[in-house]
Amino acid sequence: MRYSAFRIFREGLTGNKGWKPVWREPDPKPEYDIVIVGGGGHGLATAYYLAKEFGMRNIAVLEKGWIGSGNIGRNTTIIRSNYLLPGNEPFYEFSLRLWEGLEQDFNYNAMVSQRSILNLIHTDAQRDAFVRRGNAMILAGADAELADADQLRAELPFLDFDNARFPIKGGLYQRRGGTVRHDAVAWGYARGADSRGVDIIQNCEVTGFDIENGRCTGVQTSRGAIRARKVAVCVAGSSSRVMEKAGMRLPIESHVLQAFVTEGLKPVIPGVITFGAGHFYVSQSDKGGLVFGGDLDGYNSYAQRGNLPVVEDVAEGGMAIMPMIGRARLLRSWGGIMDMSMDGSPFIDKTGIDGLYFNGGWCYGGFKATPASGFCYAHLLARDEPHPTATQMRLDRFISGNLIDEKGMGNQPNLH
């Protein structure tokens, strides 16, 4: 069913009785060409691009709960490609370009809104680092713009310019950055994949891998065994737990990241704003809530909830740069499991087991990567070679020493 204003009009006249399920609820078949483990954003995008770009149809996406229940269902909705390193920047720029045509591509309004993202600068050294970054972005074909304090004062008068502990000295804009309605991304990909024949199977938990002679031939699930020529894992926060079933240890720790939203407010914040001297970033959703977040709690956790010190730390950061939000109220907080990798960058790679592929380690940055992650994973699965923008996202890079450490924090996942 193609969505359009006309369709809405017609359905509205007939009591909205004609809408069809956005995806089917098929039973699993005994065998697929490719089984994707994980029905989050990346898994669904992978299935979508496999079907649409690489002509594969005999695909299943297995989801242990409901689709979109992972980090695509709880994040701060930001898209951007303001990365520094050559191992990352071309990939994220590829992702941003896919975001830009996404809705027309899958006929679903995910509300991609290129409202801009701004990283505030508070010291000269920070400015130098952001100039390096901005130039790296432009060299990779992305957009970047350096703003000085006067320009920001004119554009964002509500920031604290006059009484700040860490005065604002400027900022690095990426005007093409912005926000997306996160759930709709999962639903749009699911709809697009389903309509191309992909079986999306919810409430189907993978309990084991069938591995014979170093080759993965299928999975065991809560709904029975499923054979597959290739098994593609992308389970984000559950990466360590799932890959352990295949006997693999990963350079990943699972950490909790809290995120927050306020009550709905009339428009106050135009784009995404990131504090450069504390842990705080914020945007405003189309519904009016201020969506914001900060730092990891900092300890390994699968509990999907955090603790108070971080809540307060984040609010302090917010009040430090925009004291007008003092009377906005925190409505909801939540905690997601971040698959924090050892250098803060992800993996899209084959494993040491034939037929078993891994996509993970997205840290707290997986949402913006969703389209490119799906595309590049699909590329790897279909052609058995990495997409040109994802050649460094390998599992063996810690052995070779080819690190992709954007923040320079080393093998300490909670600092990335």
Partner 1 sequence: MTQKNRISGGQIDRTRTVAFTFNGKRMAGHPGDTLASALLANGQRLVGRSFKYHRPRGILTAGSEEPNALVELRSGAQQEPNTRATTVELFDGLAANSQNHRGPLEFDLMALTDLMSPFLSAGFYYKTFMWPRAFWEKLYEPVIRASAGLGRLSMQDDPDSYDKGFIHCDLLVIGAGPAGLSAALAAGRAGARVVLADEDFTPGGRLNAETHAVDDMAGADWAAQAVAELAAMDNVRLMPRTTVYGAYDHGTYGALERCTDHLSDAGGKPRQVLWRIYSKRAVLAAGATERPIAFGNNDRPGIMLAGAVRTYANRFGVTPGQEVAVFTNNDDGWRTAADLLARGVAVPAVIDTRDAPAPIDLPGIRHVRNAAVMDTVGRKGLKSITLTDGQVIPADTLAVSGGWNPNVHLTCHQRGRPEWRDDLNAFVPGASLPAGMAVAGAANGALTLAAALAEGQAAANAQIEALGFTPAKTDAPRAEDEPSTCSAFWHVRESRKRAWLDQQNDVTVKDVKLSYREGFRSVEHLKRYTTLGMATDQGKTANIPALAIMAECTGKTIPETGTTIFRPPYTPIPLGALAGRARGTDFRPYRLTPSHNWATENGATFVEVGNWLRAQWFARPGEKGWRDSVDREVEMTRNSVGICDVTTLGKIDIQGRDAAEFLNKVYANGFAKLPVGKVRYGLMLREDGIAYDDGTTARMSENHFVMTTTTANAVLVFRRLEFARQCLWPNMDVHLISTTDGWAQFAVAGPNARNLLRKVVDESHDISNEAFPFMACSEITVCGGMPARLFRISFSGELAYEIAVPARYGNSMMDVLIEAGREFNATPYGTEALGVMRIEKGHAAGPELNGQTTAHNLGMGRMVSQKKECIGNVLSQRPDMIRDDAVKLVGVRPVNRAEPLTAGSHFVNRGETASTETDQGWMTSVAYSPSLGHSVGLGFIRRGDERMGEIVRAVNPLKGGETEVEIVSAHFIDPEGERLRA
Partner 2 sequence: MIINHPLLGPRDAAEFIYLGDAALIDRPDWQAEDAMQQFHDYAYLRDNPAGPHRELWYHEQGDRSWLVVTRDTTTHEITDVQMARDVARSRGRDK
Binding site for partner 2 (CB under 8 A): 240-241, 249-254, 298-303, 307, 309, 342, 398-399, 411-414
169-202 in b/e form (b: 16+ CB < 10 A) is: bbbbbbebbbbbbbbbbbbbbbbbbbbbebbbbb
Residue from 320, 325, 307 nearest 279 by CA: 320
User: What six digits make up the tokens of 287?
Assistant: 């519904």
Nearer to partner 2, 199 or 295 (CB): 295
| 301, interface contact from partner 2, partner 1, none, CB < 5-8 Å by kind | partner 2
- Applying CB under 8 A, the span of 239-247, 354-362, 366-374, 408-416 interacting with partner 1 comes to 408-416
| 225, interface contact from partner 2, partner 1, none, CB < 5-8 Å by kind | none
Nearer to partner 1, 50 or 84 (CB): 84
Of 45-104, binders to partner 1 (CB under 8 A) are 65-66, 68-69, 73, 86, 89-90, 101, 103-104
Nearer to partner 2, 65 or 298 (CB): 298
Residue recorded with tokens 């790296």? 136
Nearer to partner 2, 225 or 415 (CB): 415
Please report which helix (H) or strand (E) contains residue 390, including its range. Answer: none
Q: Judge residue 212's burial from the number of C-beta atoms within 10 Å of its C-beta, 0-12 exposed, 13-18 middle, 19 or more buried.
A: exposed
| 252, interface contact from partner 2, partner 1, none, CB < 5-8 Å by kind | partner 2
Q: How far is the CB of 214 from partner 1 (least distance, A)?
A: 25
Taken in order 289, 106, 368, 358, the sign of the CA dihedral is: positive
Nearer to partner 2, 241 or 407 (CB): 241
Query: Is residue 131 close enough to count as binding partner 1 by CB under 8 A?
Result: yes
Query: Is residue 396 close enough to count as binding partner 1 by CB under 8 A?
Result: no
Determine the Cα–Cα distance for residues 236 and 251; give it in Å rounded to an integer: 13
HEC sequence for 87-110: CCHHHHHHHHHHHHHHHHHHCCCC
Query: Is residue 316 close enough to count as binding partner 1 by CB under 8 A?
Result: yes
Alpha-carbon 267 to chain mean position: 25
